[in-house]
A and B are shown apart, each in its own frame.
Chain A
């Protein structure tokens, strides 16, 4: 537990410092690299929250693909030379952001969250850890999930079952959306067809 707390605070410090760096440093290229740091720190939080699959997706998609796209964009637009300048809205923006932060913190602190009992939390963590692969009977046994109903529920709770079961229509809609985005980007950048 202590180790987890240390990791939490360490990651929090790294993430917030890097995020501030993204919006404040003058060099756009450095901003892109700091953004990658933020992505990796967020992946670390996902591991802490026992969402390993999400952590992997985060590293692959964000720290991998998105970061490279952004670096390309920075290079292609030659925006590096000009750097990351603030506009005249800097003070109002900072004020608004501070206000929003105060509201969020006030709301989060005043709300009485009812956490799951620790034993359930551990079970949850276990199932989540295995959620990407499917939960083995031994794993469930270990976590003290014994009842027949509970076990079948736990086994149906895997991400794949949800994604291709209850959420299959949004899933397919997302695939259409990706196609639309790809076709659209090509149509905007491809040269004029000949003839």
Chain B
């Protein structure tokens, strides 16, 4: 049938990505155990090639496929490249971890590639069911990856909680979709906008449906009050997966929400503006709860979980301010996602490096890191400063841009609240930095008494206690391994570049957001 194959070639990047995942699965069967790292390199090379290919093939195109089911446009292209790039860095930072801590590497990388495929589809979907299936593809992959540390009860527990809450939120989301369908007769985003603008007598069903839809997406984004799964899942999941959850899955859900809101809710703003209030309330709650509860955390992963809930609050504030002709908010959200991703990559890559060497993940364990591993400590410190939004780093420009857009969109109080909660976040980020730079190395005292040796900051420290098991571990891996180092350095460069000279990226972002919010 001609209608089926007409534009199918526009989805070539997606088909190739699926093929890449299958290739990884197939090679996994024939490669000997010692060569499994090749799979990671194949995945990364494939992703890079696909990102370049997508740009060359799709730049400048705006097409709608299958009666508006999917959109292949600049918005989805931007996110495709973004997701594939993130995938490269996530794989790069998980190679060592997978080798040390996880079995079945082939399935790990293959499923990771599937999840990237899911995110690419999420950025393209213009219809609720397609969006739901793409979201499920991402979620299924994440459930599996969360459970991947198979012998670790915490990982099992995290995965169980994640899949139960995930399936529950899916049911809620689907019930919302079914209510919208029962009124609109269609699940396309633009049909939703049309029906919302002239609901007739069907108003209440539609509103409840949209509320359920928002709740379902809120679960996936971990916005307060749908956030209770996030800290446990982040803590239990293997560290690279935590990084992936914090960065990529959030960006995927945000891309989906951005298109849904722009095409489905913004056009109905005149008739039914309440969705903005709902989003603003979720945003305010997420900012405050995320950042305040983060103050009490002692585990690094939980700290990052609550901090990411706070960041979701900022994103939601931007979404509440979306408006026709107010493309600044859309730009701000996308810019924020990119800057947040770069910054989090730095922090997580450094933490993975730290974990690979020591097996520790409490904040207290970081004590004295600045002496033992100055580069790692500096990277974490810069990342955290950027997350808190200090100038010259990406965190400042992205926050400035987003909060300005929020204030301009008529939510001055929300922008004020965002600045206030950023200040709170600075406090707990500084606590971590204090641990690294001011606290002495724990266990130095017993070491020193045992060896009659001076504190750890002397140059000869490494040799002096070389016989000591834990110290050898620290000494042997004084610098992060090449791959993690590459991630850290690339992330740092991006953080600084975005902080100082964001111009070119912003131009690309404007091209992307013009597609979903025309008339800017």
Verify whether A and B have any Cβ pair under 8 Å: yes
Contact A170 B204 (CB under 8 A): no
Across the interface, B208 reaches (CB within 8 A) one of A103, A166, A169, A183, namely: A103
Contact B103 A192 (CB under 8 A): yes
A177 nearest CB neighbor, chain B only: B137
Contacting residues, chain B, for A104 (C-beta < 8 A):
208
Residue B25 lies at the interface, judged by CB distance under 8 Å to chain A: yes
B203 nearest CB neighbor, chain A only: A111
Contact B4 A184 (CB under 8 A): no
Residue A94 lies at the interface, judged by CB distance under 8 Å to chain B: no
Residue B140 lies at the interface, judged by CB distance under 8 Å to chain A: yes
Contact B107 A184 (CB under 8 A): yes
Residue A95 lies at the interface, judged by CB distance under 8 Å to chain B: no
A186 nearest CB neighbor, chain B only: B107
Contacting residues, chain A, for B117 (C-beta < 8 A):
176
Residue A181 lies at the interface, judged by CB distance under 8 Å to chain B: yes
Contact A165 B107 (CB under 8 A): no
Contact B33 A184 (CB under 8 A): no
Contacting residues, chain B, for A183 (C-beta < 8 A):
25, 107, 110-111, 144
Residue B61 lies at the interface, judged by CB distance under 8 Å to chain A: no
A13 CA / B299 CA spacing, docked (Å): 51
Contacting residues, chain A, for B69 (C-beta < 8 A):
166-167, 169-170
Contact A193 B103 (CB under 8 A): yes
Across the interface, A112 reaches (CB within 8 A) one of B114, B137, B201, B208, namely: B201
Q: A165-B1, A184-B111, A187-B107 are in contact. Are A174 and B33 (CB under 8 A)?
A: no
Residue B133 lies at the interface, judged by CB distance under 8 Å to chain A: yes
Residue B130 lies at the interface, judged by CB distance under 8 Å to chain A: yes
A190 CA / B129 CA spacing, docked (Å): 32
Across the interface, B4 reaches (CB within 8 A) one of A108, A164, A186, A195, namely: A164
Contact B110 A188 (CB under 8 A): no
Contacting residues, chain B, for A187 (C-beta < 8 A):
104, 107-108, 111, 144, 148
Q: How far is the CB of B47 from chain A (nearest CB, A)?
A: 17
A110 CA / B201 CA spacing, docked (Å): 8
Contact B134 A108 (CB under 8 A): no
Across the interface, B11 reaches (CB within 8 A) one of A107, A112, A113, A169, namely: A169
A187 CA / B25 CA spacing, docked (Å): 11
A173 nearest CB neighbor, chain B only: B133
Interface size on B, residues (CB 8 A): 44
Q: A111-B202, A184-B140 are in contact. Are A170 and B129 (CB under 8 A)?
A: yes
- Which A residues, 76 to 127, have Cβ-Cβ distances below 8 Å to chain B? 103-104, 106-108, 110-113
A192 nearest CB neighbor, chain B only: B103
A176 CA / B19 CA spacing, docked (Å): 10
Q: Could you give, for residues 136-170 of chain A, a 1 whenever the CB lies within 8 Å of some chain B CB and a 0 otherwise?
A: 00000000000000000000000000001111111
A177 CA / B111 CA spacing, docked (Å): 10
Q: How far is the CB of A159 from chain B (nearest CB, A)?
A: 14
Across the interface, A108 reaches (CB within 8 A) one of B103, B141, B144, B205, namely: B205
Residue B18 lies at the interface, judged by CB distance under 8 Å to chain A: yes
Residue A180 lies at the interface, judged by CB distance under 8 Å to chain B: yes
Q: How far is the CB of B31 from chain A (nearest CB, A)?
A: 11
A73 CA / B205 CA spacing, docked (Å): 37
Name the residue among A104, A173, A180, A192 with the largest chain B CB count within 10 angstroms.
Answer: A180
Residue B3 lies at the interface, judged by CB distance under 8 Å to chain A: yes
Across the interface, A107 reaches (CB within 8 A) one of B118, B140, B205, namely: B205
Across the interface, B3 reaches (CB within 8 A) one of A106, A165, A173, namely: A165
Q: A188-B150, A195-B33 are in contact. Are A170 and B133 (CB under 8 A)?
A: yes
Q: How far is the CB of B151 from chain A (nearest CB, A)?
A: 9
Across the interface, B204 reaches (CB within 8 A) one of A107, A192, A193, namely: A107
Q: How far is the CB of B112 from chain A (nearest CB, A)?
A: 10
Residue B446 lies at the interface, judged by CB distance under 8 Å to chain A: no
Q: A170-B130, A177-B133, A180-B137 are in contact. Are A107 and B111 (CB under 8 A)?
A: no
Q: Could you give, for residues 111-126 of chain B, a 1 whenever the CB lies within 8 Å of some chain A CB and a 0 otherwise?
A: 1001001100100000
A103 CA / B137 CA spacing, docked (Å): 32
Q: How far is the CB of B4 from chain A (nearest CB, A)?
A: 6
A176 CA / B121 CA spacing, docked (Å): 12
Contact B130 A110 (CB under 8 A): no
Contact B201 A169 (CB under 8 A): no
B65 nearest CB neighbor, chain A only: A169
Contact B201 A173 (CB under 8 A): no
Q: How far is the CB of A41 from chain B (nearest CB, A)?
A: 18
Contacting residues, chain A, for B1 (C-beta < 8 A):
165
Contacting residues, chain A, for B121 (C-beta < 8 A):
169, 173
- Which B residues, 188 to 207, have Cβ-Cβ distances below 8 Å to chain A? 200-205
Contacting residues, chain B, for A170 (C-beta < 8 A):
69, 129-130, 133
Contact A177 B103 (CB under 8 A): no
6 extra A-B contacts, CB within 8 A, seeds A168-B66, A187-B104: A111-B205, A165-B1, A169-B121, A170-B130, A183-B110, A184-B143
Binding site for A on B (CB under 8 A): 1, 3-4, 11, 18, 25, 32-33, 65-67, 69-70, 103-104, 107-108, 110-111, 114, 117-118, 121, 129-130, 133-134, 136-137, 140-141, 143-144, 147-148, 150, 183, 200-205, 208
Q: List 11 A-B contacts (CB under 8 A).
A: A106-B204, A112-B202, A165-B1, A166-B67, A168-B4, A168-B66, A169-B66, A170-B130, A177-B118, A177-B133, A179-B114
Binding site for B on A (CB under 8 A): 103-104, 106-108, 110-113, 164-170, 173-174, 176-177, 179-181, 183-188, 190, 192-193, 195
